[in-house]
Structure 1
Amino acid sequence: MYTPRHPIPQPPHSAGLAYKGLRAAIDPHAIPSPVEAIELDKERWESEPFMTLPGNHVPISTTDYVAIDQGNSSPRFLRVSTWNVPSTSRLASECEIPIAAIIQPFADQDPREEPVPLVETGDMGPARCAGCRGYINPWCKWVSGGTKWKCNLCGHETEVSPEYFCNLDANFMRLDHLQRPELNKGTVDFIVPEAYWAPHSLPNITSLYEPLVPESRSGLRQPQPMDYVFAFDVSSEATRSRFTAAACSSLLDLLYGRTSNEASAPTSCLSPGSRICIISFDRTLHFYDLAPHDDRIPPMLVVPDVEDVYVPLKTGLFVDPQEARNTITKLLSSLGQVEDGGEVREAALGSALIGGLAALSGRGGQVVVFAATLPTVGAGALTTPAEESTLYGTDKEKSLFLPRSDTWRELGEQCAQHGIGVSMFLGMSKPIDVASIGVVASVTGGELSFYPRFDPARDATVLGSQLRRLLARTTAYNCTMRVRCSNGLRVSKYYGNFYESAAADLQFGTLDADKAVSVSFDHGRTLDEREYAYIQCAVLYTTASGQRRVRVMNLALQVAALAGSIFRYADMDTVVCHMVREAISKLPSQRILSIQETLTETCSSILLAYRKHCAASQAPSQLIIPEAFRALPVYTLAMMKSKPLKGRNVIADVRNYSAHKIMSMGVRTTMQHLYPRLLALHDLQDNVALPDPTTGQIEMPSLMRASHLFMEGHGLYLIDNEEQMIIWIGNSVSPQLLKDLFDVDDIFQVDPHMVRLSSTQLPALSTRFSTQVRNILAYRHAQRGWQPKLLLARQNMDAAEIEFSDMLVEDQNNAAMSYLDYLCLVHKQINAALTSGASLGGGSGFRGAPW
Structure 2
Amino acid sequence: MYAQQQHIPQPPHSAGEPYKGLRARIDPSQIPSPIEAIEADKDQWEGHTYMTLPGHNPPLSTTDCVCIDQGNSSPKHIRVSTWNLPSSSHLARECEIPLAAVFQPFADLDPREEAVPLVECGEAGPARCAECRGYINPWCEWTAGGSKWKCNLCAHETEVSPDYFCNLDTNLMRLDHLQRPELNKGTVDFVVSAEEYWAPPPLPKMSTSYFSIDPPLSGPRKPQSMRYVLAFDVSIEAVQSGFLQSACACMRDLLYGGTTAEGASFEPCFPRDCEIAILTFDRTLHFYNLSPSLPQASMMVLSDLDEVFLPLREGLFAYPEESRAVIESLLDVIPHRHGETVVREAGLGSALLAGLASLAGRGGHMVVFQSTLPSVGPGALEPLTDQTSVYGTEKERDLFLPRNQTWRDIAEECAEEGIGVSMFLGMSKAIDIGSIGIVSSTTGGELYFHPRFNPARDTIVLASQLRRLVTRTTAYNCLMRIRCSNGLRVSKHYGSFHERTATDLEIGVLDSDKAISVLLEHSRSLDERQYAHLQCAVLYTSTSGQRRVRTCNLALQVATLAGSIFRYADMDTVVCHLARDSMAKLTSRRMAHIREDLTEKCSSLLLGYRRNCAASTSPSQLIIPEAFRALPVYTLAISKSKSLKGRNVSADVRNYHAQKILSMSVRSTMQHLYPRLLAIHDLDENIALPDPATGQLALPSLMRNSHMYMEAHGVYLIGQSWSSAYNEDCMIFWVGSSVSPQLLRDLFAVDDFLSLDPHIVELPNLPTRISAQVRNILAHRYAQRGRVPKMLVARQNTDGMELEFSDMLIEDQNNAAMSYLDYLCLVHKQINVALTSGGSISGGPSLRGSPW
Aligned partners of 1:727, 1:79: CA distance in 2, in Å?
33
After superposition, what is the alpha-carbon deviation per residue over 1:327-357, rounded to whole angstroms, capped at 9, x for unaligned?
1111111112375451111110000000000
Amino acid at match of 1:467: L
Kept after mapping to 2: 8 A contact 1:397/1:591: yes
Aligned position for 1:698: 697
Kept after mapping to 2: 8 A contact 1:225/1:271: no
The residue correspondences of 1:355-394 to structure 2 (distance < 5 A) are 355-394=354-393
Aligned partners of 2:502, 2:517: CA distance in 1, in Å?
18
* SS across alignment from 1:510: strand
1:742 maps to 2:748: yes
Amino acid at match of 1:486: S
TM-score normalized by the length of structure 1: 0.97
Aligned position for 2:407: 408
Aligned position for 1:158: 158
After superposition, what is the alpha-carbon deviation per residue over 1:156-194, rounded to whole angstroms, capped at 9, x for unaligned?
000000000000000000000000000000000000122
Kept after mapping to 2: 8 A contact 1:677/1:706: yes
Aligned partners of 1:488, 1:379: CA distance in 2, in Å?
47
Aligned position for 1:593: 592
1:768 maps to 2:788: no
1:106 maps to 2:106: yes
The residue correspondences of 1:225-304 to structure 2 (distance < 5 A) are 225-259=225-259, 266-293=266-293, 295-296=295-296, 298-304=297-303
Kept after mapping to 1: 8 A contact 2:396/2:590: yes
Kept after mapping to 1: 8 A contact 2:760/2:791: no
Aligned partners of 2:584, 2:167: CA distance in 1, in Å?
50
Amino acid at match of 1:820: L
Kept after mapping to 1: 8 A contact 2:259/2:266: no
Kept after mapping to 1: 8 A contact 2:514/2:663: yes
1:35 maps to 2:41: no
Residue 221 of structure 1: how far off its partner (Å): 1.6
The residue correspondences of 1:426-465 to structure 2 (distance < 5 A) are 426-465=425-464
* SS across alignment from 2:586: coil
Aligned partners of 1:50, 1:262: CA distance in 2, in Å?
42
Aligned position for 2:816: 815
Amino acid at match of 1:36: E
Residue 282 of structure 1: how far off its partner (Å): 0.2
Kept after mapping to 1: 8 A contact 2:273/2:543: no
* SS across alignment from 1:421: strand
Residue 390 of structure 1: how far off its partner (Å): 0.7
Aligned partners of 2:161, 2:116: CA distance in 1, in Å?
25
Amino acid at match of 2:422: S
1:733 maps to 2:754: no
Distance 1:641 1:450, change over 3 A: same
* SS across alignment from 1:337: helix
The residue correspondences of 1:794-833 to structure 2 (distance < 5 A) are 794-833=795-834
After superposition, what is the alpha-carbon deviation per residue over 1:614-672, rounded to whole angstroms, capped at 9, x for unaligned?
00000000000000000000000000000000011100000001111111100000000
Kept after mapping to 2: 8 A contact 1:726/1:793: yes
* SS across alignment from 1:85: strand
1:68 maps to 2:68: yes
The residue correspondences of 1:399-798 to structure 2 (distance < 5 A) are 399-502=398-501, 504-722=503-721, 723=728, 724-755=730-761, 761-798=762-799
TM-score normalized by the length of structure 2: 0.97
Aligned partners of 1:552, 1:807: CA distance in 2, in Å?
38
Kept after mapping to 2: 8 A contact 1:838/1:844: no
Residue 258 of structure 1: how far off its partner (Å): 2.3
Distance 1:183 1:294, change over 3 A: closer
User: Structure 1, unaligned stretches of length 5 or more?
Assistant: 756-760
Aligned partners of 2:213, 2:254: CA distance in 1, in Å?
28
After superposition, what is the alpha-carbon deviation per residue over 1:58-106, rounded to whole angstroms, capped at 9, x for unaligned?
1000000100000000000000000000000000000000001011110
Aligned partners of 1:340, 1:292: CA distance in 2, in Å?
26
Aligned partners of 2:45, 2:278: CA distance in 1, in Å?
47
* SS across alignment from 2:335: coil
* SS across alignment from 1:359: helix
Kept after mapping to 2: 8 A contact 1:841/1:847: no
Amino acid at match of 2:521: D
Kept after mapping to 2: 8 A contact 1:205/1:410: no
Distance 1:177 1:252, change over 3 A: same
Q: Which moved more, 1:746-755 or 1:555-564?
A: 746-755
Aligned partners of 1:849, 1:679: CA distance in 2, in Å?
34
Amino acid at match of 2:111: P
Kept after mapping to 1: 8 A contact 2:18/2:851: no
Aligned partners of 1:797, 1:111: CA distance in 2, in Å?
43
Distance 1:300 1:206, change over 3 A: same
* SS across alignment from 1:586: helix
User: Structure 2, unaligned stretches of length 5 or more?
Assistant: 722-727
Aligned partners of 2:301, 2:206: CA distance in 1, in Å?
23
Amino acid at match of 1:310: F
Amino acid at match of 1:735: P
Residue 847 of structure 1: how far off its partner (Å): 3.2
Amino acid at match of 1:207: T
Residue 837 of structure 1: how far off its partner (Å): 1.5
Distance 1:426 1:320, change over 3 A: same
Residue 504 of structure 1: how far off its partner (Å): 2.5
* SS across alignment from 2:508: strand
The residue correspondences of 1:76-115 to structure 2 (distance < 5 A) are 76-115=76-115
* SS across alignment from 2:587: coil
Kept after mapping to 1: 8 A contact 2:78/2:104: yes
Amino acid at match of 2:736: G
Amino acid at match of 1:442: S
Residue 293 of structure 1: how far off its partner (Å): 4.9
Kept after mapping to 1: 8 A contact 2:532/2:555: yes
Aligned partners of 2:835, 2:27: CA distance in 1, in Å?
25
Residue 262 of structure 1: how far off its partner (Å): 8.5
Amino acid at match of 1:729: V
Amino acid at match of 1:733: V
Aligned partners of 2:665, 2:260: CA distance in 1, in Å?
36
Aligned partners of 1:90, 1:294: CA distance in 2, in Å?
71
Aligned partners of 1:251, 1:463: CA distance in 2, in Å?
10
* SS across alignment from 1:461: helix
Aligned partners of 1:834, 1:308: CA distance in 2, in Å?
65
Aligned partners of 2:354, 2:262: CA distance in 1, in Å?
36
Aligned partners of 2:549, 2:116: CA distance in 1, in Å?
12
* SS across alignment from 2:442: helix
Residue 261 of structure 1: how far off its partner (Å): 6.1
Amino acid at match of 1:777: L
Residue 733 of structure 1: how far off its partner (Å): 0.8
Q: Which moved more, 1:611-620 or 1:202-211?
A: 202-211
After superposition, what is the alpha-carbon deviation per residue over 1:468-516, rounded to whole angstroms, capped at 9, x for unaligned?
1111110000001000000000000001111001252011000000000
Aligned position for 1:758: none
Aligned partners of 2:213, 2:623: CA distance in 1, in Å?
64
Distance 1:835 1:5, change over 3 A: farther
